[in-house]
Amino acid sequence: MKAHDGIYLDGAWRPALSGEVIDVVDPVDEQVIARVPAAGAEDVDAAVRAARAALPGWAATAPAERAARLSALRDALAARKDEIAETVTAELGAPLAFSQAVHAAVPIAVAGSYADLAARHAFEEKVGNSTVFHEPVGVVAAITPWNYPLHQVVAKVAPALAAGCTVVLKPAEDTPLVAQLFAEAVHDAGVPAGVFNLVTGLGPVAGQALAEHPGVDLVSFTGSTAVGRTIAATAGAAVKKVALELGGKSANVILPSADLAKAVNVGVANVMSNSGQTCSAWTRMLVHRDQYDEAVELARTAAAKYGDRIGPLVNAKQQARVRGYIEKGVAEGARLVAGGAEPPRERGYFVSPTVFADVTPEMTIAQEEIFGPVLSVLRYEDEEDALRIANGTVYGLAGAVWAGDEAEAVAFARRMDTGQVDINGGRFNPLAPFGGYKQSGVGRELGAHGLAEYLQTKSLQF
């Protein structure tokens, strides 16, 4: 596994001033596979200064030229798609087929979508006797998580570049290698020096320095609600824009008229995908009391199929956290019907696909984000009860509704306090806005709404 021993700064790989390194560990066998620089505050400052210097030229670049660079970036990523998949598998532990289908393919599609948007977005409009200009916000600090390590990078960097912003990226310390591959692709795409900069480092050091830096105009962060709060407070003190994609505890609501077997099977697959390390995962399955026992049995059977098909969690801390939640579920009286806290293998950060029945809405496992392959199945009495349970957490990121009649599902979905709802298994749409209500975040990613986050408006009156 090759790794750069520098940070990508002002168009070149340069040694980090800190001199410190981060070990990158394969979560399947717990072996160190690479080392990357642990950038410090001085490195962050150099990267922000490079982004600041490059901003006037890039902001003044015609949208068609920015679109051309993004098209070239998409092509450079596509040329590396096999290497991307293998790298994500090595540092995150995702099965190779999943890395190919999701971790490599989705970000390539998203990069392409922003090449198209950059070319056709109306960066100016007439409103009465005014002309309104949509201008780049400025220097963007992009702080990304490890769970979808390339997708989250592209979902921030591509719209920022399309808008005419310059960027400093601080990827998660667990998965920095695919971010280095991304920097190589940016370089090959002919993006001018300083427009994109990469600093690998620890969140409390490099991430904090980036969020606090006076030369940063917008902080875009994806991660836990706890860290999001800290970043929002820091940015708020400096009157700085933020875009926050935070936690979730999404409800999968199965109405009595739904195809129960399909709804349960797709619901289990959704939670087990990426080993449950998905902020939008439907971790609460809500089933009518008359269908509850059948649904639990279907979920048990479905979970058993995932035994050897899901990868490990990203690290030992995450494994311990998820096991702790499983133990808490048992202690609070939920009924374990599949999996459990015992690791299925002696080596690697694995957790068994786990299903809990007899979960009540106030239990910890029904309220807090676990971020592992753990499903809670809750019963409801009627539709109003289902809605109360679905909306009864501090989160509001995603969700699903299943019904025999699409209009019935839509009517329920409209009453859910959440940013994105899939109707009867609706497919992922890279152009649809993604983001949360309540404590799931501020702002939206993907598509035109994602581009708008990186623009600010100026009006000229005539």
Q: Across the strands, what pairs with 376?
A: 284, 356
187 and 126 in a common domain: yes
pLDDT at position 41 = 98
199 and 86 in a common domain: yes
The string of DSSP codes covering 20-59 is -EEEEEETTTTEEEEEEE---HHHHHHHHHHHHHHHHHHH
Let me know if residue 177 belongs to a domain: yes
Mean of pLDDT values over 280-308: 96
81 and 122 in a common domain: yes
177 and 151 in a common domain: yes
Percent of the chain whose predicted confidence (pLDDT) is above 70: 100
317 and 455 in a common domain: no
Residue 75 reports pLDDT greater than 80 = yes
Mean of pLDDT values over 206-214: 96
Angle value at C-alpha 47, between 443 and 148, nearest 5 degrees: 45
Encode pLDDT of 359-408 as tens digits.
999 999 999 999 999 999 999 999 999 999 999 999 999 999 999 999 99
pLDDT at position 44 = 98
32 by Cβ neighbours in 10 Å (0-12 / 13-18 / 19+) ranks as exposed
Percent of the chain whose predicted confidence (pLDDT) is above 90: 99
342 and 405 in a common domain: yes
Residue reference for tokens 């808008």? 163
Which H or E element spans position 330? helix 316-331
Residue 309 reports pLDDT greater than 90 = no
51 and 156 in a common domain: yes
Encode pLDDT of 226-239 as tens digits.
999 999 999 999 99
Taking a C-beta distance cutoff of 8 angstroms, is the pair 38, 20 a contact? Answer: yes
380 and 299 in a common domain: yes
Record the pTM. Answer: 0.98
Encode pLDDT of 313-364 as tens digits.
999 999 999 999 999 999 999 999 999 999 999 999 999 999 999 999 999 9
Let me know if residue 270 belongs to a domain: yes
Could you say which of 86, 173, 212, 279 is catalytic? 279
State yes or no: is 125 an active-site residue: no
What is the spatial distance between Cα 361 and Cα 340, in angstroms, rounded to a whole number?
20
Let me know if residue 223 belongs to a domain: yes
Encode pLDDT of 151-189 as tens digits.
999 999 999 999 999 999 999 999 999 999 999 999 999
Encode pLDDT of 396-451 as tens digits.
999 999 999 999 999 999 999 999 999 999 999 999 999 999 999 999 999 999 99
267 and 177 in a common domain: no
Residue 452 reports pLDDT greater than 80 = yes
Residue reference for tokens 């509850």? 292
pLDDT at position 191 = 98
Residue 1 reports pLDDT greater than 80 = no
Could you say which of 245, 369, 408, 445 is catalytic? 245
pLDDT at position 308 = 74
Encode pLDDT of 118-161 as tens digits.
999 999 999 999 999 999 999 999 999 999 999 999 999 999 99
pLDDT at position 359 = 98
State yes or no: is 165 an active-site residue: no
323 and 358 in a common domain: yes
Let me know if residue 384 belongs to a domain: yes
User: CB count, 10 Å around CB of 239?
Assistant: 6
Let me know if residue 1 belongs to a domain: no
CATH number at residue 286: 3.40.309.10
pLDDT at position 145 = 98
pLDDT at position 312 = 98
Q: Which amino acid is at 171?
A: P
Name the strands in the sheet holding 130-136, side by side, starting at the edge strand that comes first in the sequence: 124-127, 130-136, 455-461
Encode pLDDT of 15-47 as tens digits.
999 999 999 999 999 999 999 999 999 999 999
Residue 206 reports pLDDT greater than 90 = yes
Let me know if residue 2 belongs to a domain: no
Angle value at C-alpha 246, between 186 and 390, nearest 5 degrees: 135
pLDDT at position 418 = 98
Average pLDDT in the chain: 97
State the residue range of the domain holding 201. Answer: 7-246+440-461
232 and 109 in a common domain: yes
SS3 of residue 296 by DSSP: helix
Number of folded domains that form the chain: 2
User: What's the sign of the alpha-carbon dihedral 406, 410, 416, 418?
Assistant: positive
CATH number at residue 450: 3.40.605.10
Q: Across the strands, what pairs with 13?
A: 8
Task: Categorize the per-residue pLDDT at 113 as very low, low, confident or very high, splitting at 50, 70 and 90.
Answer: very high
Let me know if residue 187 belongs to a domain: yes
User: CB count, 10 Å around CB of 147?
Assistant: 25
Let me know if residue 19 belongs to a domain: yes
pLDDT at position 2 = 81
Residue by residue, what is the 3-state secondary structure of 204-235?
A: HHHHHHHHHCCCCCEEEEECCHHHHHHHHHHH
279 and 207 in a common domain: no
Residue 307 reports pLDDT greater than 80 = no
